[in-house]
Chain A
Amino acid sequence: MSLKSQLAKFTAQSSHFILHDILKRGGTSLPGKLAVAIDPDILSALSADFDLVVVTGTNGKTLTTALTTRILRAGGYTVITNPSGSNMVQGIAGTLLTTKVKPSPNGKKPVAVLEVDEANVFSLAKAIQPKYFVLTNIFRDQMDRYGEIYTTYQKIVDGIQVAPDAKVITNADSPIFARGDFKNQRLYYGFDNVKTEDYQDLKAPNNTDGILSPTDNSVLHYNFITYANLGKYFSVTDGFKRPELNTAVTKVSELTPKFSRFSIDGQPLRIEIGGLYNIYNALAAYAVGKAFDVSPAEMKAAFEENKQIFGRQESLKIGNKDLTILLIKNPVGTNTVIDMMETEKEPFTLITMLNANYADGIDTSWIWDAEFERLHDSKLQAVMTGGERYKDITVRLKMADFTIQETFPKTEEIIQAIEKAPTDKVYLAATYTAMLQVRAVLREKGYIKEEF
């Protein structure tokens, strides 16, 4: 490491110490900024210390990163990772610089598992050669900011192209990942839980993108669909089809809002979070574990070790109400949340809160692509609405044929809303800034303590 890099690293570590240990605020961005300012090559100077795994895609980055970290640790690796939310290059630099890397207990090279925004994959991969890219999925997400799915995917491909030796661990069920002009080896994960005799001839629903075959732009068909445009796809015009899987979900045994039981490569597993989409995150992490030679038994133990990593989906007690807070931000994400609510066995109330600030996406038209109508087939008993754009979401649900029990334009009234629910179970689905506002109220009233 050059003197300049050492100085940069020292600056980062001491600023992290001051921010984190003295000021008691989680500071990962500032130290990175300082270090990169002193030595722009600081990241590549560090890369000799560990193997880099980059986790990217639209949904599921955070959980995939957390599960991968846990699996690799169970396999005896020392792992450094970035806290969710600080996945800009500055934040990543801060993480890498302020973490002391101890040798791995298993004697192998330590691993850095990083959650990286699609737009930052290129600059990070250029700075440090990744050993693996892990691709979760590409869906439409706040298109006023991020652009079209093919543009988003191209940003990832640009990053893969600067790391020709890296392997790409990719979601075989997503047709868009069959595209991309790069020669890197691809390792495929996907679902194979449907018997051949139960195969159907399906097309993806109207509100999904990325359903064209990369060979001739015909609309793809599916033997089965797991959700959105994910599944075992094939073309009817030529032989193009989903690639063979290296790692597969071989069985789905039980889906509930709070946990799922399933098997990967025949190994029975359980994760403490609902939603079929989260099984994909477990599957991606499992595929990474396999690539690093972690044993199935160690991976099983890693999944079951600690419930806390299953972050985002949060359950609280508000008086006698059992409240679950869910983040919604795009049509596919919302549909997966709806899928999960369909597995709820008890009667429940839904409070939906819509904001349209920059962090939420300023265009609210996506709510019309979320299939709220499907909740007619669930145990949903009452619907309430709120948020700064309560009018939009109220009309959305009204046009989905629900009677709106009450609307709460003011987030301060959220506790009253929860108390007015006619059921014990309450689901609160909110966009990002609406969720932050709800959490602020709940914290002020003492229902939650920790920072998000």
Chain B
Amino acid sequence: MVAAPSAASVIALVEEHRPVGPDAFLLQLALPQLPDSLAPGVFAMLSPEDGSGPEIARPFSLYDCPGPNQVSFLIQTLGCGTRALAALPPGSAVRCTFPLGNGFQVAAAERTVVMVAGGVGSAPFLLYAQKRVALGAGANTHFFFGARSGERLYDRQAFASLAICSHFATDDGSLGFAGNVLAAVEAALADNTIPAEALFLACGPAGLLHGFASFARARKLDAWLSLETYMGCGYGVCNACPVPTEAAGALGAWPYARTCTDGPVFSLRDIQF
């Protein structure tokens, strides 16, 4: 885990919405300033400043830093919080508390990394992939990206255009491997495309993460997850995002960790999941 630089709560301006699927978009924001170095997996709490959203802001992993003082977030329109963000025209003010949480440690170039994402769970992995390419480690960086259908492999071109090994999987077989993304990972392990000693990172819907956790435990993989839970504040004051800890793990001194400040990236060894 990599701790985020201390967070600031600022007014960001909406620069662009770019649809990336039937139910998702990239929200590009301009911030007054940006920390020099941001770990993949850090997140922001976002809410419309005009009060058109709910009382509680929503957490989103940083997706990309497209330009100076620019950040983008991959957002699936699901409920009132994301709908309110989707409705903001360019120029609108967004309350943005950022950067929050502990991100993924970018592994040394010689170690193989396997990223496993479902749907908008791809969000923390674009930056990760960019950093691996910058290390010259694209060839041993694997990105497994699954969704129900090809059109829900949101912004897949952004990954496909990077010099990493991208593997797409769709439940309906419309693009790439036909089946669950974990089945694609299993097949890649079986044919030695990826080694079991790799660093495995996962982010996605609860079903995928639970499946991934069982899969990783059964094979004793070095596995890390970026969790999403309901969050009240995102900065450690409300205690509404507990995740049960593993007594023998690094967080075992207390029965719960906070997803926002102890995570959202956890080693599977440290949490009960």
Q: Do A and B bind each other?
A: no
